[in-house]
């Protein structure tokens, strides 16, 4: 189990690094716009992301 969790974390880091590596200017602009989003919208987006990830994980397994 710990091995799989480590592999998953490594893949997340690789995927998260693709956009700043390929498009650093666009990534910087996106982050600056993200700083302007209110907390409630950010929480809703995070909740949707977690639920979607959980549902996809359930479907894959």
- Residues 3-17 pLDDT 10s: 989 999 999 999 999
d(CA 11, CA 17): 10
**Is 19 part of a structural domain of the chain?**
no
How many structural domains is the chain composed of? 1
**Is 10 part of a structural domain of the chain?**
no
**9 DSSP assignment:** H
Percent of the chain with pLDDT over 70: 100
- 54-to-28, 36, 49 alpha-carbon distances in Å: 29, 28, 9
**Is 14 part of a structural domain of the chain?**
no
Q: What is the pTM of this model?
A: 0.68
Domain that holds residue 44: 24-61
**Is 15 part of a structural domain of the chain?**
no
């Amino acid at each position: 189990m710990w091995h799989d969790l480590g592999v998953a974390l490594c893949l997340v880091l690789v995927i998260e690094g693709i956009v700043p590596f390929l498009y650093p200017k666009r990534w910087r602009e996106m982050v600056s716009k993200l700083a302007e989003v209110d907390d409630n919208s950010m929480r809703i987006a995070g909740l949707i992301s977690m639920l979607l990830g959980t549902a996809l994980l359930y479907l894959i397994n």
